[in-house]
Chain A
Amino acid sequence: MSALAANLVQSVDWLAIAPPTIAAAVGLVVLVADLFVPEPRKPLLGRLSVAGLAAAALMLLPLLDGDRATFCVNGTHACSYTADRFTLVIQFLVLGGALLAALLSVTTLRDADRRLPEGEYWFLLLSSAAGAALLPASRDLATLIVALEVASLPVFALVGIRHGDKKSSEAALKFFLSSVTATAVSLMGISFVYASTGTLYLTQVADRIQHVEGQFHTLAQTGVVLTLVGFAFKTAAVPFHFWVPDTYVGAPLPIAAYLSVVGKAVGFTGLILVTVVGFPSYADVWGPALAALAALTMTVGNVGALRQQATRAYSAVRLLAWSSVGQAGYLLVPIAAAAYSNDAERSIGSTVAYALMYAAVNLGAFAVAAVVGRTRTANRITDYRGLYATNPLAALLLAFFLLCLAGLPPGIIGLFAKVTVFSAAVNAGLGWLAVVMAANVVIALFYYLQWTALLFRAPEGEPVRHRLPAPLTAAITLTGVLGVALSGAPQLVLRFADTGLF
């Protein structure tokens, strides 16, 4: 009896699953508490959510000592949830990103003056963060898709959360429709893979897909390609990028920041898991596809950013949106390189290192944009003119973040993160991709530097001093300290490019 029970009831390693679980639980608590908290005390919910995300991130610490796995099929090594180094690094990125986005949200919600429903907002943000934290740990295709949807469904609602705002609803609808299509395609791909291998566990898929019978070969191949589509969509890779600019502009600014970092992290983590862990034997299929995708994505993204007119409304957010598409292209390069290299894990490490750098500095840039956006609601790039004269520290940090994104000193961490990506490409023999990326780095410099230069121009007209509320100050300080510390000691993130993560 007890033996049977042991077979039926899996033992759960609660510590291993703590980070996503805490985020989800706090989300539920906030939703319920929203019903009982009187209107003037609503900011309490924000504090609770920030604390919850911080607690979830802190729960990563006890996991550092070694790999853990849970929800395993008895007698095999196939597990649904694994907390290895890769998982922990991505969970850190995702929870940290969500935490910073939450800090930005505190101010946005206060400024919105009850026009945004606070309880729902925090619940949705925390649920999405929980899904995003679950995704890197999932090691079977079903959990992967569930996590992907948990991470993205709340975001659709968040994008459209501004009631009565036409742009907001339109953005949400656009985002929702295209995302759901992508997921459906992905599901079909997974069903093909399941049909040809008979398993959903990534490690087993990797074994069995090599020995697929002849008639199923095409099915498996189609399955692999279709599965990738859904994840490529989440990274906003071209041609799945068209939703990005409108969505970023339509969404509240913190949500755009969240999407640009956590949304991307979700997408490329899924891509890494599916390609490198699930289908390594199909490297000849997904390698060239991802390489082409990377080249297209960075080129389209950077050219799009280049074409932004500085005087148009929301041009700052639009530029960050397009540039995030370009950055997604760089993130894809090492994943594509993993197909060609005999040390796939090192290539993946380059993506992870780049993503960590990108998360810190991009959120920093969004934080400064949030500061400026408070007084200049149109958030044009020209609104940043003369920022140095009124808020010197914020201007210097924004310049630093932008130069990190461009990859030029003094943004040393940005430079070396680019170097690791380049070196992954050169190492894998993808010379052409490296050259395309080199050209893109130059294009990107143009718009980043143009913006940077504007910060130090003499202000036009009456200079506006931007007030810095505490949560925004915290977010800017946090990202700034991270960026500067990493520039002094790039090894902190680059070490992931040197060791095995799985």
Chain B
Amino acid sequence: MIDINESVMQFLLAFVVLAPLLGAVAALLPAPPGLKGKSPGQAVLRHGVTVTGAVLIATIVLAVGFDHDHPSKMQATTDISWIPALDVRIHLGIDGISLPLLVLTALLTFLCALYSYFKMPAGPTPKAFVALLLVLESGTLATFAVLDLLLFFLAFEMVLVPMYFLIARWGGEGRTRAAWRFILYTLLGSVVMLLGLLLIGIKAGTFDMVALATDNGRSLTASVQVIAVLAIGIGLAVKTPMWPLHSWLPDAHTAAPTVGSVLLAGVLLKMGTYGFVRILLPIAPDGFRTFAPYLAAFAVVGIIYGSLACLSLAKQGAKGDLKRLIAYSSVGHMGFVLLGIATMTPTGVNGALFANIAHGLITGLLFFLVGALKDRTGTTDLDTLAEETGAALYGKAPRLGGLLAFAAVASLGLPGLAGFWGEMLALFGAFKPATDLSRPAFLTFMAIAAFGTLLTAAYMLVVVRRVCMGAVPQEAPKLADVHTYEFAAWTPLVALTVVAGLWPRALLGLTDPAVQQLLAGGTR
């Protein structure tokens, strides 16, 4: 939109990736005089807000300076040799696919830092918390900004240790086990992924994603592609997560502190689906075609499985945990994303990318709300909350109840809100998949997935009924309604959910040209 000098753009992108890392180191050092604040804890939390805020501003400037007429072109690219022995280059760049994810990551991390500034999760020192949060941000941003397979792997691994500690140290009940499951599962996946990446790099002679995407799998034999897609796909599917590799997710979400859950659902899961679009689709299309129907099948099973799990958790007397329920709903939503990708059509992939962003916004908001609910009532157990009649949030804290209802209907895909377009486009894509994929199979998948949306609506409405509605007993203590800082942290998410729902072109206009080119044979 605004013409910004290319070297400034390059600097901004490098800044976005490196600034959180430097900020993390700075967080561990004692605060300089003049920035000591009221207490060391407050100073370091403020430091976190400052750094994530600066990164957010930088990404917004990047988004503004991005050439929106050519979203398929890699912009703000840097390409420096780092480890010649392994042919690893520091190759950074953004296009219409990565830019929205970059902004989403920076936004969610900033909101999390802001939220923690006022509501620090119970646990050890804030110092380590802020440092870990910043390393996490750097890793996720790097995942979306790098264009080298081995750097992608490095960035992918970088988030593991900070997330492990966030869950294990600041988490709730069962956190140790959940943290271990998270890190061991994901590491197993990503090491297998590394084997696939190495196979591609060795056979094609380069690890550069742009060169590989332009090559479009022509220098890789079919069998190499099949093996590579299988290995990389498993790694990404664990991260996404795809049914049946999802079992680490509910535990991790349930145990993680609020901001951990927000970032896990909002950003970390996207690293998996982004990898599918950025690496597998353009680099090994033949191999991906072989597995596309299976991927779609697993995705559809995930949709139904996630919804059924949620329904059973939402039932009265099931002792369902709200955080667990949202985690399972993520499995379902990610199923739609995977289904869209598996169609290998522009429509489906655009839908997948849209659903990615929408899920980040809506589920991030949901986890924030449930976290706030837990702070007020001390529990996320649906039965304890709702008792016989319902928690009556509308009566006790009307604004909180209203927001929760809003997030719930956005999550079930109400037209006019962000959740709708992605899932609809994914279903459209499945209606008419790529020419060499079996149409009857995908029609079946589409029908089942469509049924899944009904189930999603069912459990979300049950949750709204049980948490928000109900009679307010006279002697019931009033709950604190939404605080100002909570408003500050949540309003951007609400606003963006509405904007993305009413004006999907803003996002699709960015992703569509890039996706078209990716499917047709690489990035220019």
Contacts and interface: CB of A to CB of B under 8 A. Distances in A.
Contacts of B154: 409, 412, 415
A177 interface: no
B194 interface: yes
A422 B198 contact: yes
Given A409-B161, A412-B154, A419-B150, A426 B199 contact: yes
A419 B194 contact: yes
B161 A416 contact: no
Interface stretch (A267-275, A279-287, A438-446): A438-446
Interface string B193-215: 01100110110000000000000
Contact of B161 (A396, A408, A441, A490): A408
A435 B157 CA distance: 18
A486 to B, nearest CB: 11
Given A419-B198, A458-B124, A442 B187 contact: yes
A408 B161 CA distance: 8
Interface stretch (B47-55, B83-91, B248-256): B83-91
Q: Main SS of chain B's interface residues? A: helix
Contacts, number: 94
A410 B135 CA distance: 9
Interface in A396-425: 396, 403, 408-410, 412, 415-416, 419-420, 422-423
A495 B81 CA distance: 13
A408 B183 CA distance: 11
A435 B195 contact: yes
Contacts of B160: 408-409
Given A439-B188, A490-B83, A449 B198 contact: no
Nearest to B87: A498
Nearest to B179: A453
A426 B195 contact: yes
Nearest to B159: A409
Interface residues of B, number: 36
B263 interface: no
A390 interface: no
B128 A494 contact: no
Which of B192, B195, B202, B227 has the most chain A CB atoms inside 10 A of its CB? B195
Contacts of B165: 453, 456
Nearest to A399: B161
A416 to B, nearest CB: 7
A494 B165 CA distance: 30
A431 B194 CA distance: 12
Contacts of B184: 442, 445-446
Interface string B170-184: 000000000010011
A495 B195 contact: no
A445 B192 CA distance: 15
Contact of A497 (B86, B157, B199): B86
B397 interface: no
A495 B84 contact: yes
A415 B85 contact: no
Contacts of A441: 187, 191
B85 A409 contact: no
Sorted nearest first, the 8 A-B pairs with minimum C-beta distance are: A498-B85, A494-B85, A438-B191, A409-B158, A426-B198, A442-B188, A491-B83, A495-B85
Given A423-B86, A446-B184, A456-B128, 4 more contacts: A415-B154, A419-B198, A445-B187, A490-B85
16 contacts: A353-B85, A403-B161, A408-B157, A409-B139, A409-B154, A419-B198, A426-B202, A441-B191, A442-B184, A442-B188, A442-B191, A449-B161, A453-B165, A491-B85, A495-B85, A496-B85
